[in-house]
Each structure stands twice: as C-alpha cells, then as structure tokens.
A and B are shown apart, each in its own frame.
Chain A
C-alpha cells in the first residue's frame, strides 16, 4: 500500500472518529457504530505497511496479524473514550420508556438521596418534625407529628423529589452546604456518608396543634408570627398531605406512594397547595388597614376625618350599597369608625381621594406585586393584574375596600398585621432559626431582619390604634381578650363562584404588641365569627405560652 494512501487513510480514520465522538450525541448508536466500522477499515489500510519480499511467510503473517489486532484495540479505545469521557454525561443520565410503559433510568442518579443521613428538623422547643433512621443500610425519612409534618414538606428521592423545607433547605439537610474543604476531602476519600445538618425552626408544635384543632379540617390557614422578628410560630394549613406516605425505599412502597401521589394530585381540594403560603385569596375588608395607612401616611386623612355614608354611594353610574352601618340613621362617620365598622362607602371615598397612583404605591410598599423572602415559596400577592385596572373609578373604589382584583396570601396579611403592630416595619418572615451539625454545633443562625418599611411610625401607630378600636368598639368585639391589648380587622371576600372566604388579621400585646396573626377560612360565609374566634384563641394562647 503506497505510503501516501496509508497516511491519508490514517488521517481519515482519525477525523472520522473525532467527528463521531463529538457529533454522535446527535446521531444514533447505530450511526456511531457504522462510523467506527468505516474508521476501522481505514485503520486496516493505514497499517498495511509494505514488507520486504524476502521476508519469511510466518514473519509477514505474524506482523500483519499483530497489526490487524492493534487496529481492533484502537477501536476499543475509541469506544471507551466515547462511553467514559466524551458522551459520558448523556449516557449516564439516559432515560426512556420501555415498550411496556415502564420508565427506566440509571439507578445511580436516583439512589443518591438514600445514602446520606439527612438532617433532622426540630420545632423551637426541640420537638422532632422530621427524623431520619437507618433501616437495612438506607436512611428512612419520617415525620412523627402530623400537625407539623407538612411544613417540612415531602422528601421522595426515588420518585417525586422534594417540596417545602425539604426542598428549599436541601443543601443543608443533605450536608452538601457549608462544609469546609478539608472535611470534605477526608469524607470524600473515605466515602464517609456526610451527615446532613439539622434545622431548628421557630415553629411551636403546641400552637400548631391548637391551630389545627381550631381549623378542625375546614379549608383555610392560620399564620401566627412574632410581630417584631417575623419568626413564624404557627403555620397551619388545611387541607395538607402526609409526607410519610410519599417516602419510599422499596418497590412495594413506591406503588403505595404512587397511588397516594395520584390521589393527592387528583384531589380538587389541592392538598399540595399549602394555603398559608401558596393560597391566594381576596383579602376583603382586611385590606382597609392598608388603605387607611395610605390615607394617613400621605396626609390625605386622619383617623378623625369625617366621611359621608348614608347607606349608598353612586360612582360612575354604579351604586354601592352599604350594609355595615351599626346605626342606619347616622350618615357621618370618621375614618376610625369606618375601619371599626368596616364601612365600604367610607373606604370607597378614601380610595377615590387617594387616587390610583397612591393606592398602587402603598399596595406595593406593603409587599404586594412581589413575594416576601421566606423559607418556603410564597405566592405573589397582587393589588390588581395590572396598574391600569385602577384607572376605573369603580375598580379604584372596590380595591380600596378590599375587593376588585386584589389577591393575597395568609402569610402576607400576617406581615401586614405585624407592620402595624411594630411601628411600620415589615419583618422578613422566617421558619428556620438555626442550622446545627450532628454534634449540635451551630453552623448558621438566621438573624431576624426587616424586610421593608411601608409607612412611618406615626402612621402605623394610628392604624394600630384604629384596629384596637375596631376590637373594643367596632365589629371585631369577638377578639376582645381580657388582660391584653388586641387590635384586629375582619374581612369577607366574595369569590367569583359565589362562595365567601372569611378573614381575620390582628395582633396582641400587653400592652406593646407581640404577636401578629392572619386567619383565613374558605367558604366561611356563615363563619365570619369563627375566623375571629380562631384568631383570638391563637393570639391569647401565644401570649400565655410566652
């Protein structure tokens, strides 16, 4: 074989293999094998070197045979380079569906969640929320208390991933975050499974239990927090799921998990949507606190400003009927009385006075149109789908007393209550106060922080006083708690389908405010009192517990 031909064959073979290696993620395995086959033939040509004519037959054939096998070894090397280096990732993560419908994947990509001792989750008194025990060489996740379990979220490494704190704090729980390089290297060397870090929550199991009892299975949520720090003590949400039933280590268990998952996914009550942080509700009259704060903060009104309310108000041809006046013969009401008795006509006028820009501005100051930073995902609250909605006078009026397109979460409204309770500072809410290692050494502390400052101290104090007035002299007298100062506001929200959600937001102190709360009950038209009662009971329990 001429030298030039052999050199060309060798170059062509190399080029072909190189192209196949790097382009074959787009080509099929059969394609790659064909490339390799052709490259092998070219290599055979390339190695067919001229041998002296007088060479003995055996020498010639042995050399030829050795060369031929060498080319096969070269092809083996090319294939190994492809599988173990160039296309490694694609092959490693290759998944698909078998003809019988069963999915397949590299088990190594899914087993990893079971070989570390996942960190535990404790409440603020050390009660276990999520636990890890070893069983037959794998680590089993369990959640002993059903009232706190769903706050942790679910952990389903073999099937559905994770949710809740299990997902957002996964790096810490799995121990992959915050370890120093030397420890890491030693653990790596010895293949020592790294224990995950423990989470210590601000959650209080006793209060959580009480809130769960008070909700007694009705759809809704209770969020109670330390007003100054934003530490969440109660995070009750109905309906919820049992994360114990979403964890599996064996195929038998995974069938149960699959069935449970499908049951939850198909449930119209949407138990995966925790109402406390993900449920979006029209806030109804509880939003009047924000309208009032905007009016006072902008100097548009004071608590004593008098508004006309004779039972109806016509805006752009639409007549608003007022049902909330305690005395139908009276037509002059101060702003404070308007909040206390939840007078829609008063707040419609406040809204029109403020105008769309200022109402929108104050809504965003109170964290609407965004989500608070939190340990769990929070649905974004909105004043309206867009600012343009408020350009309509009727929409502006509706929004001012809490209807229109406003949507918000119980967590958000608890933050609103906390803002008035603590002089105008909205805290950053949090559930995780401390991260410790398995020897209980603190790795990280979550210091309370302010999130935003929507209104001045003086405005906040005036609205807070108006909320106290609403409890003591207004429509929220069910929240009166002997021995404590309670401020509050109720709300009923009409939803599109005609059902009514009932709200309570408020705070308690002795006399300085300490805890803020938001309670929502779905379809609670006949139970407006109930949401107030739940809120009052929870606030009192929080105070008495210290």
Chain B
C-alpha cells in the first residue's frame, strides 16, 4: 500500500487555515492593545497565537507529507472555533505573566491537536476503525464504569457531579463517555441493523425486536441515571439525544424516536416533580427575572451581555462579559456575543453548522457500515451539544450546563472533541461508496 504514503498538497486546507491564523494574530493584538490604550505590542505578547497558528499549519503540512487525502474543511473550521475560544480565554484573563486561562487552554489545544494528528496518521496502519468496532461491549462497560465512578468519587460542583480528580488533573468523564457510547452504539447497531429495522411478530401484533433493543435499554437507563444520580442534566440530554438519533439512523423508524421522547418526557416530568432543581431550571427558563439575584442571575446577565453586543459587538476587551459568573465555561457564548456581536455569534453558528453537515456528508460517503454510524454519531454529538448549550445560554431551552465544543475552557472537552474531529477526518479518507 505504498500509494497511501504518496505526499499530496492540501491546498484548500492550507489556504482556509489562513483565516484562523490571521484571526489569532489580529485578535490577540487587539486584546493586548486595548487595555494599554495605545498601539504598543511586541511579537512576544502574542506568542500564544503564533504558537497556535504554527501548530495548525504544521498539522496540515504533516497531513500533506503523510499523503492524507481526507476532508480539507474540518480542520480549518475546528481551528477557527478553537482560536475564538483561545482569544476569549486570553481576553477574560489578560494577565500575560501568569499561567492564565489562555496558556492552559493552549496546552490543552496542543494536546488535542496531537491526538487529532495521531488519529489521522496512525488510524490507517493500526486499523483503528476495525479495532473500535470489535470491542463494542468494552466501550459500553467503560462508559458505565466511568459514570459509576463519577457517582462514587466525583466532585460536586454547583450541585452536579461532573468531575473526577486524578492527582492534579480533573477529568470530566461525561466527555469521554459520549464518545465511547457512540462507538458502542455504532458497532452494535451496525451488526443488528437489519434485525432492529425488522419487526417481531407476536401473534397478530407487530412489535419492535425487543431482545435486540435490550442493550439500548441499558443506555437509556444510563442516561436517566446520569440525570438522577449525578444531576448532570446537560450530559443526560446529550446521551439521550445521541441515543435517539442513532437508533433512528440505523432503524429508519421514527416510532423509536417518538417512543424515546415520550418516555424521556415522562421521566423528566417525574424528575421535575421529584427534584426541585429541575423545576427551578424550567421556571428560570421562562422567567429568570422572577429571581434576579438568585437562580436567574447568570441567565439575566447572559442576556444583558448578548444585548450589549448588538450587531457589531463591543470589540475584544471592551465589553464587560465578566459580569456573568463562570463566563469562561458554560457562558462563553454570551461573552462572544457581547464582544463580537451578532456577526460573531452567527459566524460561530455557521461554523458549527458546517462542521456538523460536513460530518454527515462523511457519514453518507463512507462505505463501511460501522464507520457510517460512527461518523453519524460523532457529528450528532457536536450538533446536540452545541444546540443544548447555545440554546440554554440564549434562553431557547432550559439551561443545562455543558461545554461549548472547541470554545469553552477545559481539557477533557477539548481533547475529546479534537479526537472526534480526528476520527471524522480519518473516516473521510476511508474508501467510499459507489
């Protein structure tokens, strides 16, 4: 297979990477210059951006040399989103001398880029896709084990258990679980595709093939447990969304979606009745002004921030997004809305849209059935997660804490999302249908 190692020139990718690279440099200069109130900056001030630009361009060149012939749009789109996140971290914590948010975020980005590059470079020779598909129950067990571990040893933050502390590192298991679950489901559904699409005849009744859906039931229960035991509504919603989307994709039966939504709705209603926290979230969604200094505080200030930005935004460093508590994680989108305006937020929506649609196109093109479902599931993760958090922040749906892919601060989230893009890139280079 010497042919696969023939270098190629990834011209589209390289030229598209010009935009995030320029954005990184110009954006950071702005952020550095604004608090100084004069045009005074040096190249050393913007080493974070130069380093990042170097990393992504290096990645693209490495792909070219390696002869990687996969998708050329995913990397620039991902890099642009990551740059916006990096710039916001720098802007929210502008102390250059300290190891601030941006410097740490850069470390995570570098690690994420390494994982992405590793997957793209090595997935072929290691037969990664086949390997992932083969050990499907391992992934299911790992998923359940991680969630259980979070329940047992997790750190509670704002009433939700999201973290496991391993030495100096905090891990957010739900970020890993979302991928392992998709791998499990893709593999399982690919094998049982025809069976699940069929019906189970019991006398005159045509029922869904219940035995084959049992492992899916385990997943459904896992989602609910996440909701009830860990109080991690965002992840629960994400898991459940992925579950429904993949079940539908594999079976082609909307009735699964309907039944799933119905049962999840009932479960949510029970949870609402049982746990006041969920009721509060719903009330807070409809009218945060009822408790402006309590639970509504973040939401109200998120809305103020978005409105302050207007169409053009205040510009980097010139808004007051820090008025929103915890702005660098869940509410980063509001900070962007304030400083980059409607143009900025619509750009981000467009970038996610491109990313997701590109992912689905990759899923449609690839020949291997498992890879199809895997690409579908991974794209759906990005779509659902984006919708959950942006929808919550702009008060379209009740707020559930979850990270904004590639932009929010956080190592687990960045590493896993870069791995997702790496997998999508790899799948895009696999043999195609027709």
Contacts and interface: CB of A to CB of B under 8 A. Distances in A.
Interface of A: 29-30, 33, 36, 57-66, 69-70, 72-73, 75-77, 79-81, 83-85, 87-89, 91-92, 94, 96, 98-100, 102, 104, 106-108, 111, 190-193
Contacts of A108: 304, 308, 319-320, 323
Interface in B291-334: 291-293, 300, 303-304, 306-311, 315, 317-320, 323
Interface in B390-407: 390-391, 394-396
Contacts of A66: 356-357, 360
B432 to A, nearest CB: 13
B39 interface: yes
B38 interface: yes
A521 B15 CA distance: 82
Nearest to B288: A29
Given A65-B245, A107-B323, A84 B307 contact: yes
Contacts, number: 146
B349 A57 contact: no
Contacts of B39: 190
A80 B290 CA distance: 22
A191 B316 CA distance: 10
B287 A100 contact: no
Interface in B9-42: 33-34, 37-39
Interface stretch (B169-177, B246-254, B421-429): B246-254
Contact of A193 (B37, B245, B319): B37
Contact of B320 (A58, A79, A88, A111): A111
Interface residues on B, range: 35 or more
A69 B310 contact: no
Contacts of B293: 98, 100, 102, 104
Contact of B308 (A65, A87, A106): A106
A29 B395 contact: yes
Interface in B264-309: 286-287, 289-293, 300, 303-304, 306-309
Nearest to A89: B307
Interface stretch (B92-100, B133-141, B338-346, B412-420): B338-346
Interface of B: 33-34, 37-39, 197, 245, 248-252, 286-287, 289-293, 300, 303-304, 306-311, 315, 317-320, 323, 337, 341-342, 345-346, 349, 352-353, 356-357, 360, 363-364, 369, 372-373, 376, 380, 383, 387, 390-391, 394-396
A84 B306 contact: yes
A171 to B, nearest CB: 22
Given A88-B310, A107-B323, A191-B315, A81 B387 contact: no
B356 A69 contact: yes
Given A62-B364, A108-B308, 5 more contacts: A76-B387, A76-B390, A85-B342, A89-B307, A92-B304
Nearest to B254: A64
A30 B287 CA distance: 8
Contacts of A104: 292-293, 300
A146 B261 CA distance: 71
A83 B306 contact: yes
A92 B390 contact: no
Contact of B307 (A73, A79, A92, A96): A92
Contacts of B391: 72, 76
A243 B372 CA distance: 72
Nearest 3 A-B pairs (CB), nearest first?
A57-B252, A91-B307, A84-B342
